[in-house]
């Protein structure tokens, strides 16, 4: 780190749990943020400000006037522009040193797996179950840590799935694909603006902890936020040995069947 | 006995009009089980994903037999995907 970086990141370096080593880990890291909307906005902004060296921002949509109530990556001038270009501009204003890769597409198939493979951490800030399951499959296949957040109306959920750890469940253990309810989007249901900020910022916090290897992440726990009453609940998650995505036979060879 | 019944996210609309936010307080008979209330309010089975009594998860297999007690809070979360 040069003198400017030591100064810019001094408030992180002062933290024993992060220090020079943790900050260097941020600078060397590559984060994939899928979705540049309500959750992706605060998540990517905190990652950029915190010094994550490479951020890949992926979204196929363009900025709409109805996004501006909560999607703080974008502003009135960017209405009609691709979200990833608007987002890159904001992130570079926050931290000109960051390398921001803008992918104006809905990542799928091999391209998704390749981006996940290149990433040190993946933040799922997407808005539909099929993308969420595709990201999870790619993270399981490549053993890439996944920080998953979701928000609708006043309610939010967040967890971390880290398949580098043997005991970690995957997203599919929690939400089996056939159990997914009907998809109701913010456009129909509404969403409370700061709720996406709370959940997205929490995703950034968990991603940075994964990168620095500090503290205890949300692996094996799901946080539920009742934003209307401002109550958090934490429930324990266990991996499903018979999960069709991450199911692994137990050590002794005694399979579930 | 009285219990609180909370439905989150997209399920809140299933509560009666007298709901306060996402919660309604109900007078129920002794012996009422978790699944009884889920059925009474027509929560679709696939949407009754995370069921909690006083913040503790009740797995699907235990819901039919789990009796509610006076002052319990039953909460039901659907899967959510919004971003």
pLDDT tens figures, A191-209: 999 999 999 999 999 999 9
Domains held by chain A: number: 1
- Predicted local confidence at residue A186, as pLDDT: 67
CB spacing of A226 vs B8 below 8 angstroms:
yes
- Predicted local confidence at residue A177, as pLDDT: 82
Please provide the average confidence, as pLDDT, over all residues in chain B. 94
What's the CATH number for B2-77?
A: 3.10.20.30
- Predicted local confidence at residue A252, as pLDDT: 40
Please give the residue of chain A at the shortest CA–CA distance from B80. Answer: A150
Token couple for A107? 């990542």
Q: Among B12, B47, B52, select the one facing A181 at the smallest CB separation.
A: B47
CB spacing of A179 vs B46 below 8 angstroms:
yes
- Residue A188: inside a domain, yes or no? yes
Q: Which residues of A touch B46 (CB under 8 A)?
A: 179-181
- Can you point out the beta strands (E) in A89-220? 99-103, 121-124, 146-152, 155-161
- Residue A168: inside a domain, yes or no? no
CB spacing of A155 vs B49 below 8 angstroms:
no
Q: Which residues of A touch B22 (CB under 8 A)?
A: 154-155, 226, 228-229
State the Cα–Cα distance between residues B33 and B53, nearest whole angstrom: 11
- Residue A132: inside a domain, yes or no? yes
Q: Are A71 and A37 in contact (CB under 8 A)?
A: yes
Question: What stretches in chain A show pLDDT beneath 50?
Answer: 250-257
- Any residues with CB less than 8 A from the CB of A71 and at least 6 apart, and which? A36, A37, A38, A41, A63, A83, A196
- Predicted local confidence at residue A256, as pLDDT: 39
- Residue A220: inside a domain, yes or no? yes
Please give the residue of chain B at the shortest CA–CA distance from A130. Answer: B81
Q: Among A127, A189, A224, select the one facing B83 at the smallest CB separation.
A: A127
pTM for this prediction: 0.93
- Residue A238: inside a domain, yes or no? no
- Residue A251: inside a domain, yes or no? no
- Residue A175: inside a domain, yes or no? no
Sign of torsion over alpha carbons A81, A84, A89, A90: positive
Catalytic residues of A: 186
Task: For residue A122, give the CATH number of its domain.
Answer: 3.40.50.720
State the Cα–Cα distance between residues A33 and A27, nearest whole angstrom: 16
- Predicted local confidence at residue A180, as pLDDT: 55
Q: Please report the residues numbered 19 through 48 in chain B whose beta carbons come closer than 8 angstroms to any beta carbon of chain A.
A: 21-23, 44, 46-47
Q: Which residues of B touch A228 (CB under 8 A)?
A: 21-22
Q: Which residue has the higher pLDDT, A135 or B60?
A: A135
SS3 A243: coil
Task: Give the structural domain span for A103.
Answer: 3-163+182-231
- Predicted local confidence at residue A205, as pLDDT: 98
**pLDDT one-digit tens code per residue, A30-64:** 999 999 999 999 999 999 999 999 999 999 999 99
CB spacing of B44 vs A236 below 8 angstroms:
no
CB spacing of A233 vs B52 below 8 angstroms:
yes
State the Cα–Cα distance between residues B49 and B65, nearest whole angstrom: 17
């Amino acid at each position: 780190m040069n003198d400017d970086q030591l100064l810019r990141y001094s408030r992180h370096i002062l933290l024993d749990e992060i220090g020079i080593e943790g900050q260097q880990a941020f600078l060397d890291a590559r984060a994939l943020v899928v979705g540049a909307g309500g959750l992706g906005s605060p998540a990517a902004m905190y990652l950029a400000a915190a010094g994550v060296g490479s951020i890949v921002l992926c979204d196929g949509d363009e900025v709409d006037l109805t996004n501006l109530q909560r999607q703080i990556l974008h502003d009135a001038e960017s209405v009609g522009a691709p979200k990833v270009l608007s987002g890159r501009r904001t992130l570079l204003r926050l931290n000109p040193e960051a390398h921001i890769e803008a992918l104006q597409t809905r990542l799928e198939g091999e391209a998704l797996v390749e981006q996940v493979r290149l990433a040190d951490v993946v933040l799922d800030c997407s808005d539909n179950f099929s993308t969420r399951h595709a990201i999870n499959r790619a993270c399981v296949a490549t053993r890439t840590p996944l920080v998953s957040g979701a928000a609708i109306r006043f309610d939010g959920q967040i967890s971390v799935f880290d398949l580098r750890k043997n005991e970690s469940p995957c997203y599919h253990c929690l939400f089996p694909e056939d159990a997914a309810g009907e998809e109701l989007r913010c456009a129909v249901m509404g969403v409370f603006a700061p709720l996406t900020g709370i959940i997205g910022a929490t995703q950034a916090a968990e991603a940075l902890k994964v990168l620095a290897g500090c503290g205890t992440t949300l692996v094996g726990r799901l946080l539920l936020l009742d934003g209307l009453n401002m109550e958090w609940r934490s429930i324990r998650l266990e991996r499903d040995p018979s999960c069709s995505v991450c199911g692994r036979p137990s050590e002794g060879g005694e399979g579930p069947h | 006995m009285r219990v609180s019944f909370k439905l989150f996210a997209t399920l809140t609309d299933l509560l009666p009009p007298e709901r306060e936010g996402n919660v309604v307080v109900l007078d129920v008979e002794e012996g009422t089980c978790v699944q009884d209330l889920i059925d009474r309010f027509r929560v679709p089975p696939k949407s009754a994903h995370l069921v909690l009594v006083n913040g503790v998860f009740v797995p699907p297999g235990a819901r039919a037999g789990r009796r509610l007690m006076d002052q319990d809070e039953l909460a039901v979360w659907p899967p959510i995907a919004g971003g």
